[in-house]
């Protein structure tokens, strides 16, 4: 089924822009492709592909190289690739216990990626903005203003997508922080700054380049101090009416549960978040990544307390996943952050708990797998966010054309 | 953000079919429109609209009538309307305590609608199929085979969309019933039979013709013996990987809750379903619609026990809605079935419980409203399901054309 919004009248200029977008997106996501492969992937004719690639070469978005013959008869098809040097995204991440910066080229080439731990103290917004700018500063002088397509920012909070305001970040202690505007002013770059929730972006990266490639119905659940999620429906991220969707960490799952920093109680996060795990294992709840590493190593050695804490988290993780399976009927669940790390120890407990609570048809269909991108999934997703405008309408980077005549 | 699947290369025949679909869909959903209004709504040129309408008139899908002048200068624009007599859908519903049949014309005209109560016994599949066919029998002789676009079926269970198999219907006692095939054989009509979950279809109807018209992010929750839901994301129904999505009634919400017919325990349905409501009010749990009516009347009279039962259901309804708000960030929640009926009594309790458990940004944004279509929402949605193929590709009903030359 589809809604009235699916289909609207289409004009030739709209079609041209959509076709340019289809080509750039294929090259960005899948890497270099021959013209023949582009014909197959886009459904466009060979002559149409040739013309459109010509436009994209002129705009420095792609380049063509003659491929080496590979034993097939006939002329080799030129290989088209995105120019990672001519279009770059700056990505930033404000996490509860680390900050990160990356420079990523069109096509997904990671030119640079740096992460610094920070004390689990609640820095002020001013301090976080200043620290992020400091982290990016070494590369700013070399950034070609024409090449920079945008700045993507991952943050551990609920974000209004339209203007990049962090509405509520319980684990940072922020409310209604205009982070996009603050960073735009501090960076002073001639490029848009877009902000999104870190788990949304981690899920985007796993969908595009990680464990969920090729799936159209995906749930990504990421555990850190907070628990976040990202949902892919019919191949598209579910962001909701204002960008607040996917806040799975604050699903009420236990009416008898503990108070949550969000103001409610019994949220999923209070049972499966990093602090809950550490407290249950009688570790320092503010021990951060190092404490989790120690805990996991202890569990591998067979320490009872550590194993019991992991089993508790795994059981509640499965219970919450059952909620999501029944509502969303995904093909795959990707576990990120701390859940990715504990999956080798308690994967079967997670699966059993999920199957016990979910309807059988949905439980039978799904695969529950660890993520493929590790802790860098959110910042790689932030770069993808920054590329999104370019991918949607690369024609905006071309020289202006006379308007085409409209036709049906 | 959008994914690589959003955009693909487009050819002129694809565009023509999409434009025919856009016109028929607008007329089906919104009713009669002038050519000028179609120009605005589809973005197509006036001459393109003229040509496409000509094709649709020839195919008996639409008709044009000269409108009366309404005081504006210039020639009146002809009014185009869907032909409700020339394209009809047969809709059937297999509910826990009633069966229903409807005949609906393109454009939404309800030619006929009948509902019969049935005892809350578990009839066999054979009996349900025979009873549905009996219900439809009076109209079968008069059905023009050319006019019948399809048969849509609403059922209280988890349905695999691809082949109309009811995978699991706890409250009917069914597992893996090939309902589409069974009904196709029994009806013996030259039209496809499509089956979907009743709440999915109720939500579709409320979105297209009821309380959720114009919203792109909707949650529909329907209470009967079972509790079902339908989710609209970005204007489209969320059906999930295999059509099992929206099973909100089986979200585990209470770890200490009662056993559920699905095999799990503490499902939302065990706290807010019709049986839970009746048991808590010390009524006959199998009393059905009549018992619920009596209970609601008692509550209006101020009977404490009835009011307390409604408050309990309203509080748990709000708790589960908070789960859905945090995950989906909808603009509107539409309450159907028994929840539509109790909303005037406990609407504020539902809202308070939701706000207490949901993240503030999502809670502030949403409106929680009763449905507009009453108990007939699912069967009206079943008719919409039957029309879907025609709406998506009305060109399939036109005479074959020579293939158009492909172009970019």
Helical (H) or strand (E) element with B89: strand B88-94
Q: Answer whether residue B400 shows pLDDT above 90.
A: no
d(CA B96, CA A39): 51
What pLDDT is recorded for position A401?
40
Q: Answer whether residue B9 shows pLDDT above 70.
A: no
B406: confidence class by pLDDT, cuts 50, 70, 90 = very low
Q: Answer whether residue A407 shows pLDDT above 60.
A: no
Contact map slice: A 241-260 vs B, CB within 8 A = 241-248, 250-256
Q: Which residues of A touch B331 (CB under 8 A)?
A: 241
More confident: B11 or A334: A334
Q: How far is A84 from chain B (nearest CA, A)?
A: 19
d(CA A330, CA B52): 39
d(CA A199, CA A222): 6
Q: How far is A387 from chain B (nearest CA, A)?
A: 10
More confident: B2 or B61: B61
Q: Answer whether residue B121 shows pLDDT above 80.
A: no
Q: Quick one: fold of B213-372?
A: Nucleotidyltransferase; domain 5 (3.30.420)
What pLDDT is recorded for position A66?
77
Contact map slice: B 101-160 vs A, CB within 8 A = 158, 160
Closest by alpha carbon to B348, among B306, B312, B309, B314?
B314
CB contact under 8 Å between B11 and A238, yes or no, is no
Helices (H) and strands (E) in chain B, counts: 13, 16
Tokens of B109: 């005209």
DSSP β-ladder status, A165-169 and A218-223? unpaired
Q: Answer whether residue B355 shows pLDDT above 80.
A: yes
Q: Which residues of A touch B2 (CB under 8 A)?
A: 236, 388, 392
**Is residue B361 less than 8 Å (CB to CB) from chain A?**
yes
Residue A58: exposed, middle, or buried by beta-carbon count in 10 A (0-12, 13-18, 19+)? exposed
d(CA A326, CA A220): 15
pLDDT tens digits for B296-336?
999 999 999 999 999 999 999 999 999 999 999 999 999 99
Q: How far is A198 from chain B (nearest CA, A)?
A: 15
Mutation target for A interface from B164, B240, B261, B353: give the one with most A CBs within 10 A.
B240
Coil, strand or helix: which one is A166?
strand
d(CA B297, CA B306): 9
For chain A, give the percent of residues with pLDDT over 70: 91
Nearest-Å Rg of the Cα atoms of chain B is 23
Contact map slice: A 370-389 vs B, CB within 8 A = 384-385, 388
CB contact under 8 Å between A385 and B26, yes or no, is no
pLDDT tens digits for A18-47?
999 999 999 999 999 999 999 999 989 999
Helical (H) or strand (E) element with B42: helix B35-42
CA angle B220/B226/B232 to nearest 5° reads 20
Average predicted confidence (pLDDT) for chain A: 90
Q: How far is A293 from chain B (nearest CA, A)?
A: 29
What pLDDT is recorded for position B74?
63
Q: Answer whether residue B76 shows pLDDT above 70.
A: no
A106: confidence class by pLDDT, cuts 50, 70, 90 = very high
CATH class, range A11-83: mainly alpha
What pLDDT is recorded for position B25?
96
CB contact under 8 Å between A4 and B25, yes or no, is yes
Tokens of A248: 């799975």
Q: Which residues of A touch B195 (CB under 8 A)?
A: none
CB contact under 8 Å between A330 and B207, yes or no, is no
Mutation target for A interface from B2, B5, B7, B55: give the one with most A CBs within 10 A.
B7
- Which listed CATH number (2.130.10.10, 1.10.10.10, 1.10.3720.10, 1.10.600.10) goes with B11-70+79-83? 1.10.10.10
The reply to whether A88-201+378-392 and A212-372 are identical in fold is yes
Residues in chain A: 408
**Is residue B5 less than 8 Å (CB to CB) from chain A?**
yes
Q: Which residues of A touch B408 (CB under 8 A)?
A: 15-16, 19, 44-45, 47-48, 51-52
A293: confidence class by pLDDT, cuts 50, 70, 90 = very high
CB contact under 8 Å between B359 and A262, yes or no, is yes
d(CA B94, CA B166): 11
What pLDDT is recorded for position B67?
67
Q: Answer whether residue B203 shows pLDDT above 70.
A: yes
Q: Which residues of A touch B319 (CB under 8 A)?
A: 252, 255
CB nearest to A361's CB, from B168, B361, B385: B168
What does the pLDDT average to over B233-258?
93
B73: confidence class by pLDDT, cuts 50, 70, 90 = low
Q: Answer whether residue B219 shows pLDDT above 50.
A: yes
User: What DSSP string describes B339-387?
Assistant: HHHHHHHHHHHHHHHHHHHS-HHHHHH-EEEE-SSGGGHHHHHHHHHHH
Domain ranges, ordered by start, for chain A: 11-83, 88-201+378-392, 212-372
- The maximal CA–CA distance of chain B, rounded, in angstroms, is 73
What pLDDT is recorded for position B23?
96
Please give the sequence-ordered ranges of beta strands (E in DSSP) within B236-371, or none if there are none: 236-237, 332-337, 367-370
**Is residue A76 less than 8 Å (CB to CB) from chain B?**
no
CB contact under 8 Å between B240 and A328, yes or no, is yes
- Which listed CATH number (3.30.420.40, 3.40.50.150, 3.40.50.720, 3.30.450.20) goes with B88-201+378-392? 3.30.420.40
Q: Which residues of B touch A160 (CB under 8 A)?
A: 361
Helices (H) and strands (E) in chain A, counts: 13, 16
Q: Answer whether residue A399 shows pLDDT above 80.
A: no
CB nearest to A4's CB, from B29, B252, B359: B29
Q: How far is A406 from chain B (nearest CA, A)?
A: 7
Q: How far is A97 from chain B (nearest CA, A)?
A: 23
Closest by alpha carbon to B195, among B247, B154, B167?
B154
B194, HSE (Cβ side, Cα atoms, 13 Å): 23
Q: Among A62-71, A360-369, B280-289, B393-402, whose mean pLDDT is lowest?
A: B393-402
pLDDT tens digits for A221-280?
999 888 999 999 999 999 899 989 999 999 999 999 999 988 999 999 999 999 999 999
CB contact under 8 Å between B242 and A361, yes or no, is yes
Q: Which residues of B touch A51 (CB under 8 A)?
A: 408
A12: confidence class by pLDDT, cuts 50, 70, 90 = confident
CA angle A25/A26/A30 to nearest 5° reads 120
User: What DSSP string describes A21-59?
Assistant: HHHHHHHHHH--EEHHHHHHHH---HHHHHHHHHHHHHT
d(CA B124, CA B85): 35
Sign of the four-CA dihedral A52, A58, A64, A65: positive
Average predicted confidence (pLDDT) for chain B: 90
Instruction: Using the structure block, give the residue that is written with the tokens 């519903």.
Output: B93
**Is residue A1 less than 8 Å (CB to CB) from chain B?**
yes
- How is the beta sheet containing B79-82 ordered, strand by strand? B33-34, B79-82, B62-65
CB contact under 8 Å between B244 and A365, yes or no, is yes
Q: Which residues of A touch B388 (CB under 8 A)?
A: 1-2
- How is the beta sheet containing B193-197 ordered, strand by strand? B110-117, B98-105, B88-94, B148-155, B193-197
Q: Answer whether residue B3 shows pLDDT above 50.
A: no
Q: Quick one: fold of A212-372?
A: Nucleotidyltransferase; domain 5 (3.30.420)
CB nearest to A204's CB, from B1, B168, B365: B1
CB contact under 8 Å between B42 and A8, yes or no, is yes
Residues in chain B: 408
pLDDT tens digits for B132-158?
999 999 999 888 888 999 999 999 998
From first CA to last CA, the distance across chain B in angstroms is 25
CB contact under 8 Å between A240 and B26, yes or no, is no
**Per-residue H/E/C for A302-348:** CCHHHHHHHHHHHHHHHHHHHHHHHHHCCCEEEEEEHHHHHHHHHHH
CA B313 centroid distance within chain: 24
CB nearest to A359's CB, from B158, B235, B384: B158
- Residue A270, phi then psi, degrees to nearest 5: -70, -15
């Amino acid at each position: 089924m589809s809604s009235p919004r699916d289909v609207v009248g289409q004009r030739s200029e709209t079609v041209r822009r959509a076709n340019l977008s289809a080509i750039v997106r294929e090259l960005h996501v899948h890497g270099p492709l021959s013209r023949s492969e582009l014909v197959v992937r886009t459904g466009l004719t060979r002559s149409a592909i040739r013309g459109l690639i010509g436009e994209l070469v002129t705009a420095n978005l792609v380049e063509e190289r003659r491929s080496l013959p590979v034993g097939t008869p006939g002329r080799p098809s030129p290989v088209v690739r995105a120019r990672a040097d001519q279009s770059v995204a700056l990505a930033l991440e404000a996490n509860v216990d680390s900050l990160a910066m990356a420079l990523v080229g069109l096509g997904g080439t990671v030119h640079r990626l740096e992460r610094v731990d920070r004390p689990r103290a609640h820095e002020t917004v001013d301090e976080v903005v200043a620290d992020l700018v400091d982290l990016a500063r070494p590369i700013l002088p070399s950034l070609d203003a024409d090449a920079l397509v945008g700045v993507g920012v991952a943050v551990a909070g609920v974000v209004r997508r339209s203007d990049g305001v962090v509405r509520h970040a319980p684990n940072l202690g922020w409310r209604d922080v205009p982070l996009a505007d603050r960073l735009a002013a501090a960076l002073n770059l001639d490029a848009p700054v877009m902000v999104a929730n870190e788990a949304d972006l981690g899920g985007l990266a796993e969908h595009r380049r990680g464990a969920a490639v090729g799936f159209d119905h995906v749930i990504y659940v990421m555990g850190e101090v907070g628990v976040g999620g990202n949902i892919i429906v019919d191949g598209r991220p579910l962001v909701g009416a204002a960008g607040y969707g996917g806040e799975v960490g604050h699903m009420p799952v236990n009416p008898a549960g503990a108070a949550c920093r969000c103001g409610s109680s019994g949220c999923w996060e209070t049972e499966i978040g990093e602090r809950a795990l550490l407290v249950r294992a009688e570790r320092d709840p503010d021990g951060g990544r190092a404490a989790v590493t120690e805990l996991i190593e202890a569990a591998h050695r067979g320490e009872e307390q550590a194993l019991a804490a992991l089993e508790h988290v795994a059981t509640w993780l499965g219970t919450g996943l059952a909620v999501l399976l029944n509502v969303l009927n995904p093909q795959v669940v990707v576990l990120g952050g701390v859940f990715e790390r504990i999956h080798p120890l308690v994967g079967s407990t997670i699966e059993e708990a999920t199957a016990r609570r979910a309807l059988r048809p949905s439980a039978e269909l799904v695969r529950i797998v660890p993520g493929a991108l590790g802790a860098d999934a959110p910042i790689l997703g932030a770069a993808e966010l920054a590329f999104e405008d370019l991918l949607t309408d690369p024609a905006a980077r071309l020289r202006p054309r006379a308007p085409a005549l409209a036709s049906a």
